[in-house]
Amino acid sequence: MGNLGKICVLLAALSVGAAGGGYAFYKKAYVKPRAEIAQQRTNFEAFIQACKQRGENWDKTAAQLAPIYALSMPSNPQNSRIEYQIWLEQMLEFCNLTEAQAQAGRYVRNQATGSATQTYSVKANASTAALTQFLYEFYWTPFLHRIAALDMRPIENSDDLAVSMTIETSAITYKEKRDIATATNESEKAVAQALARHADYPAPDKLPIDATPTRVLASGPLAAYAPFAETSLFRAVRSGIDSADYARLTATPEVTDEKGTATRFSRWRVETEDRVLTLKVGDRMQIGSFDADVVEIDAEFVLLRQDEERLWVVPLGEKLSDAVAVPANLY
């Protein structure tokens, strides 16, 4: 092969190499980046769509929970703490709880849920009627609060109870208005209307006193809860050393007099006074702090009426302090 042939072969080889290299460069520098850009665009579009869907779901949830947001404490921790404590102390006084002390405790934020919790500790003395009224008023007040713990113990030689409570209040920081005029469909319009009704809560500077949600925790007026206060949770006598604690029903004999009239009596052994008290129906019993009328005497029990309202059954052989309350309308 002459020099011309060798040159032609070389040129052909160079042409083929240039074509192959150009194609490889085209795939590397153009086709691959374009495909990656297209994939990134698809991923971004999917991400945007997912975010939009989450946003729509959040708006719907916010609209559904708007009444709960209305009960939230103020979002400003200091305002919330001061104003709620003032309200709490006023409520304790209004319900006649004495020697009341209310103190703010921990304030805990939850960044994940956009909420915060403030605790309060309360100590006071209260009758069962006063405590019943306080619980009624507490859960009928339109706040996002609850009693997390309640402890009661009788006060020695007193009708009152020593009460201690742990109260928790909650603040939900989410609050966003929607413009009804810019709603693009009925769903957005419904969300905007729901949020607009509660857009001012939680207020940054005041408790939601003027919120009027449905009060579902109270089934009726305060009088409906009177039986709770009328039935002593701590027996019929005061706590501490009391003669009534050591008075036992020892016998209910039936005695026939000379005329043949049979009368049943109740005999009570008062251990602290070393005496036996004998009473018949209609007699007044006064032992220690306990004061009641004998209304019925049976072979197995005695029925007592206290303060014209409470009825107590004392089984034969039991202490007066073990009396069992029965509904007053039975007799």
User: CB-based burial of residue 46 (10 Å sphere; 0-12 exposed, 13-18 middle, 19+ buried)?
Assistant: exposed
Q: Return the domain boundaries, the chain.
A: 3-64, 77-221, 243-330
Average pLDDT, the chain: 76
- Paired tokens of 287: 């032992």
pLDDT tens profile 30-48:
667 777 777 777 777 776 6
Model confidence band, residue 8 (pLDDT cutoffs 50, 70, 90)? low
- Of residues 189, 152, 42, 165, the one with CA closest to residue 105: 165
Which residue, chain included where needed, has tokens 């919330």? 80
Count of positions (residues) in the chain: 331
**pLDDT at position 142:** 78
pLDDT tens profile 192-214:
676 666 555 455 556 665 544 44
The percent of residues in the chain predicted with pLDDT above 90, rounded, is 24
The percent of residues in the chain predicted with pLDDT above 70, rounded, is 65
- Paired tokens of 240: 């501490």
pLDDT tens profile 159-196:
788 999 999 998 876 555 556 666 667 777 776 676 66
74 vs 84: CA distance, rounded Å: 9
CA-based radius of gyration for the chain: 40
CATH 3.30.70.60 fits 77-221, yes or no: yes
116 vs 111: CA distance, rounded Å: 8
Most confident of 51-65, 205-219, 228-242: 51-65
227-237: b (≥16 Cβ within 10 Å) or e = eebeebeebbb
**pLDDT at position 98:** 92
